[in-house]
Amino acid sequence: MAANDKNEKPFSLSELSTLRSSFFDLGVASVFLNVLGLAMPMSLLQVYDRILPNKSTGTMVLLLTAVLAALALESVLSFGRSYITGWVGAKFEHKAGCAALDRLLMTGIDSFEKEGSGVHLERMGSLGTVREFYAGQALLTILDLPFAILYLSLVGFMGGTLVIVPIILLVAFGLSAMRIGTTLRAAIQKRMTADDRRFNFIIEVLGGIHSVKAFAMEAQMVRRYERLQESCAEGYHTVALRSADALSVSSFFSQLTMISIAAVGSLIVIDGDMTTGGLAACSLLAGRAMAPLQKALGVWTRFQSFMLARDRLAGIFALEREVPDGLPRIPAIKGRLEMENVSFRFGEKLPMVIDEASIKIEEGECIAIAGGNGSGKTTLLTVMQGALRPTIGRVLVDGEDVRNYEPQSVRDQIAYLPQSGVLFQGTILQNITMFRPEFDDVAVETAGLLGLDEVVATMAMGFDTPVGDGAYDSLPRGIKQRIAIARALVNNPRIVLFDEANTAIDSAGDNFLRVWLERAKGRRTLVLVTPRPSMVKMADRVFDLENGRLTPRAPREPQAPPALLGQGGSTP
């Protein structure tokens, strides 16, 4: 897998943008927009120098008509550019959002959990900032910038040395913009770091709300959040100040340009080297030349946010894929499961959770694994299912390494029954089928095996009852767990990994689950992690997990004749 990752072509967000296909249209529109922008300065030149001195009303009407037509066409072209960039941005956000979530979900659990959920959430939230630039807003500014030279050339043609004034101001404006952009980038970076800590804290508190309530920790959590929020507020305040600096500088240079042109130009007019109409035209042309620079300042200040947001979003695509693309789906398995010298740890500098574990489980066999809290039982089952990749060793199904197959197809046939299942927003039926309508009939049948049909029958909306996060989620914990177990079994798995899945289930549900396991024994491969002696007795073999190592127990000797065992054997 490492070799494939190294050979994998680095992902670029620009690959998701369709801006290249619209470049010609945007370029043509920009040329016409900037040429039409000359209509107003040239019309003022004619009004002051020819129409007013000659009192030519007819020419005035024709000129006004032409200017209005130019303004109308300019508005149409401007709308067209906005439409194109808006559509390009929408398509980019859709593609990038789907690609980012796909990469997150296709990342291995160990890679995903190296950073908090708040970091991933903040990275996904960067899409809105990145969209603006990949939609073409920066490109439009770049296309407009060369026309500043055209406007300045016309100022020089009509005003001579007057052109020096806007050139000096434009250079000063550009240097100020660069300085502001640098300080703004540092402020945004500090704010984003504070946001990451705040989001992680919120997710942790809301995820553990029951513990917070149980230990009366509300006041402490609020105080901790106040400190985090204070850092965020300071960051937002600094960013707001730096952004306000950019607006102030832009406004200052815009007004200074008009005043300077008027002042210096007036002296030139008095000397007779330029007409009044030329001065009016030069004022508008200088303003036109300043406009792309002002847009560039806005883009430059937002560019600082874009760079940081792009780096954050790129962090999602830098996550290591669980497996290379293009692996085949695993064929229908029989159920033989093996681990060959498997070791696993969550980080290079962390101790081994599983240490050289080897086991061979035959098709239809039932084994039990016992161990104390924190001994790594859940990690062991997760490695068996293939959700965690062994640091050393191999996991084999029917003699084949599971790493050679698509992970989703492997997990479809190896069910993991967790201690506490999670329900997603939807209906009971959708949670069992995982939103696959073709499994509706199988889901109802599976629910019946766990006694869920009797529970659902008492609900007004039956299997269409809403569950998940929200106001409708009022189901008892035991019912939620049964729904989660039914979801794991709906694919008719050949191997079932039972991770104390009955700890949260009521006695009725526990009886249904135990009956299902007894019926499944011999027909499916069962791996049971449970502290209950009644379920351990179902196992053909029992293993102890201690210090990361699997040790088989000695075979049990019969305690009584089979006839005596049969007297109470029917009791769940």
Q: What is the CATH number of the domain that holds 462?
A: 3.40.50.300
The residues, ordered by sequence, that sit 6+ positions from 88 with a Cβ below 8 Å of its Cβ are 17, 18, 19, 22, 134, 135, 136
On whether residue 342 sits in a domain, the answer given is yes
Q: Are residues 40 and 94 both part of a single domain?
A: yes
Q: Are residues 297 and 406 both part of a single domain?
A: no
Contact 275, 51 (CB under 8 A): no
Name the nearest CA neighbour of 277 among 62, 38, 43: 43
On whether residue 411 sits in a domain, the answer given is yes
- Which of 288, 317, 346 corresponds to the end of one domain? 317
Burial of 299 per CB tally in 10 Å (0-12, 13-18, 19+): buried
pLDDT at position 336: 94
Q: Are residues 349 and 216 both part of a single domain?
A: no
Contact 362, 546 (CB under 8 A): no
Q: Are residues 159 and 209 both part of a single domain?
A: yes
Q: Are residues 81 and 210 both part of a single domain?
A: yes
Rounded to an integer, what distance in angstroms lies between the CA atom of residue 255 and that of residue 257? 5
Q: Are residues 178 and 82 both part of a single domain?
A: yes
The residues, ordered by sequence, that sit 6+ positions from 458 with a Cβ below 8 Å of its Cβ are none
Q: At 517, list the tokens.
A: 């396991």
Q: Are residues 73 and 210 both part of a single domain?
A: yes
Angle, helices 117-125 vs 276-317, to 10°: value is 150
Helix/strand/coil (H/E/C) assignment for every residue in 151-204:
HHHHHHHHHHHHHHHHHHHHHHHHHHHHHHHHHHHHHHHHHHHHHHHHHHHHHH
- Note down the domain range covering 363: 337-568
- Which of 317, 351, 386 corresponds to the end of one domain? 317
pTM for the whole structure: 0.65
pLDDT at position 561: 46
Q: Are residues 341 and 228 both part of a single domain?
A: no
pLDDT at position 10: 54
On whether residue 418 sits in a domain, the answer given is yes
Q: Are residues 251 and 387 both part of a single domain?
A: no
Q: Are residues 293 and 427 both part of a single domain?
A: no
pLDDT at position 6: 45
Q: Are residues 375 and 296 both part of a single domain?
A: no
Q: Are residues 39 and 154 both part of a single domain?
A: yes
Domain count across the chain: 2
The residues, ordered by sequence, that sit 6+ positions from 292 with a Cβ below 8 Å of its Cβ are 141, 144, 145, 147, 148
Name the nearest CA neighbour of 140 among 34, 244, 35: 34
Backbone phi and psi for residue 402, each to the nearest 5 degrees, phi listed first:
-65, -20
Low-confidence stretches of the chain (pLDDT beneath 50): 1-7, 471-472, 558-572
pLDDT at position 393: 93
pLDDT at position 469: 60
> The domain that contains 208 carries what CATH number?
1.20.1560.10
Contact 301, 241 (CB under 8 A): no
The residues, ordered by sequence, that sit 6+ positions from 222 with a Cβ below 8 Å of its Cβ are none
On whether residue 205 sits in a domain, the answer given is yes
On whether residue 494 sits in a domain, the answer given is yes
On whether residue 181 sits in a domain, the answer given is yes
> Hey, how many other C-beta atoms are within 10 angstroms of the C-beta on 432?
30
On whether residue 442 sits in a domain, the answer given is yes
